């Protein structure tokens, strides 16, 4: 149902109820307006088309066509301003700053002093000079990119064609921190991650909120962990700080030691699979038997299938013990390898004993008067053991093989 509007009627508009049936709606008598309204609702104007039947419930009524000349000029201006903003976003306001503000209020060469300082403009606008300058700097960057005219060619009150609204956020930031070296780094990182710099700057300006989110939300904590690991790769100072913090915390120190042990064991199994070689208990490196390598591959595949949330320590220990046992078995089943393994062990022990004996400083014993009878007895016992070992080796060398 369409009701004609009377331009002379200045009474406040009263919204109609959702249901306009006679059961719920009673038209208040109005001596001046009742007749025209009734005529409009029941009788079509001469020569006009008959009114269509009422639309079914739920259908949208057609939008009312109203000429701009018949409306309040203030409403028209608001609608036009809204349309400009809808199309251009912040550019509409940046233009007002760009054509009216010159920092310091000094006129450019060859121009009249018609522009004002950012401080004076902010006072007129009822906002801070910092906010004005953020719009100013956004326009300046866009002008450097050739997207908008330079300040010098703009005069107060001049309108120009503005860029699209979605380009505005590429140049404007609502935060002062974005202009600092730190802010520029955060902005660049945010753009690399594909997010709006303002969000990253907001987080950086409120570390307490970031801490609360990390403490309360596992997803945020996981994101923070990944970010810290990525940063530590390029920040030795942060590596040192994290290592120091872990070393000073007993629970973390134990957890790191446990994970390091598991990683070493997984690395032992992985090395066999990838290089096809084993390292014997004596330190020899030899080719791995096919059976041993197949078993190592099986265990490694199980380890690689573990989720990040699953503990790898127990699985790594089982894989390591199994492979280690197969290595010892392979050594014992190969006569030549078994002999070489024992020879290597003997050499290793002899080398350690020699190094220890060479490190004995007899001068200190005599100078400091720390001699004890027990020391001489142990050296005499060692001498006897060495003599016995020498005799055994001489006999072995003289025995025909």
Q: How many domains does the chain have?
A: 3
For helices 207-216 and 197-204, the axis angle rounded to 10 degrees is 90
| pTM across the whole model | 0.40
Whether residue 236 lies inside any domain: the answer is yes
Whether residue 226 lies inside any domain: the answer is yes
The parent domain of residue 314 ranges over 252-337
Whether residue 385 lies inside any domain: the answer is no
The residues with which 285 forms a beta bridge, in sequence order, are 279
Its sign, for the CA torsion 140, 146, 150, 154, is negative
Contact in structure between 138 and 168 (CB atoms under 8 Å): yes
Last residue of a domain, which of 172, 191, 215? 172
The residues with which 278 forms a beta bridge, in sequence order, are 286
Residues 79 and 168 both lie in one domain: yes
Residues 281 and 243 both lie in one domain: no
Last residue of a domain, which of 219, 247, 275? 247
Residues 84 and 147 both lie in one domain: yes
Local confidence pLDDT in tens for the 401 residues of the chain: 333 444 444 444 434 444 433 333 334 444 344 333 433 333 344 334 444 344 444 444 444 555 667 788 888 888 877 777 777 778 988 999 999 998 766 655 555 558 888 898 999 999 888 888 888 888 988 898 899 999 888 988 888 988 888 888 777 765 555 556 677 787 778 778 877 777 777 777 788 888 898 999 999 999 889 989 988 988 889 999 999 998 999 998 998 888 888 888 888 888 888 888 888 887 778 888 888 888 888 888 888 787 666 677 778 888 888 888 888 888 888 888 888 888 888 888 888 888 888 877 666 666 666 777 788 888 888 889 889 988 888 888 777 65
* Tokens of residue 345, six digits: 């062990």
Whether residue 92 lies inside any domain: the answer is yes
d(CA 17, CA 24): 9
Whether residue 188 lies inside any domain: the answer is no
d(CA 46, CA 214): 74
Whether residue 393 lies inside any domain: the answer is no
SS3 286: strand
């Amino acid at each position: 149902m369409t009701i004609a509007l009377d331009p002379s009627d200045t009474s406040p508009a009263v919204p109609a109820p959702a249901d306009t049936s006679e059961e719920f709606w009673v038209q208040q008598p109005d001596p001046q307006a009742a007749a025209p309204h009734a005529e409009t609702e029941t009788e079509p104007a001469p020569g006009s088309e008959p009114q269509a039947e009422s639309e079914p419930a739920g259908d949208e009524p057609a939008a009312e066509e109203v000429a701009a000349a018949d409306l309040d000029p203030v409403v028209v201006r608001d609608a036009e301003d809204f349309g400009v903003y809808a199309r251009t976003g912040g550019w509409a306001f940046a233009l007002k700053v760009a054509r009216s503000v010159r920092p310091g209020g000094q006129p450019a060469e060859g121009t009249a002093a018609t522009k004002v300082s950012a401080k004076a403009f902010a006072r007129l606008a009822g906002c801070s000079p910092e906010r004005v300058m953020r719009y100013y700097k956004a326009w300046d960057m866009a002008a450097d990119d050739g997207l908008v005219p330079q300040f010098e060619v703009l005069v107060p009150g001049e309108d120009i064609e503005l860029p699209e609204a979605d380009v505005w956020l590429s140049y404007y930031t609502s935060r002062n921190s974005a202009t600092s070296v730190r802010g520029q780094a955060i902005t660049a990182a945010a753009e690399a991650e594909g997010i709006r710099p303002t969000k990253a700057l907001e987080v950086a300006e409120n570390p307490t909120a970031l801490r609360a989110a990390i403490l309360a939300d596992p997803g945020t904590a996981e994101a923070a962990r990944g970010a810290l690991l990525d940063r530590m790769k390029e920040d030795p100072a942060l590596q040192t700080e994290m290592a120091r913090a872990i070393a000073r915390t007993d629970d973390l120190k134990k957890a790191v030691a446990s994970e390091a042990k598991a990683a070493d064991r997984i690395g032992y199994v992985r090395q066999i699979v990838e290089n096809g070689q084993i390292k014997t208990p004596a330190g020899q490196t030899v080719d791995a038997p096919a059976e041993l390598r197949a078993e190592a591959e099986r265990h490694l595949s199980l380890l690689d299938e573990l989720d990040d949330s699953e503990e790898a320590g127990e699985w790594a220990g089982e894989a390591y013990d199994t492979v280690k046992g197969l290595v010892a078995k392979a050594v014992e089943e190969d006569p030549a390898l078994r002999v070489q393994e024992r020879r290597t062990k003997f050499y290793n022990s002899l080398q350690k004993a020699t190094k220890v004996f060479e490190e004995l400083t007899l001068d200190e014993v005599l100078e400091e008067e720390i001699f004890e009878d027990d020391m001489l007895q142990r050296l005499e016992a060692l001498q006897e053991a060495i003599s016995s070992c020498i005799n055994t080796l001489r006999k072995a060398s003289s025995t025909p093989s």
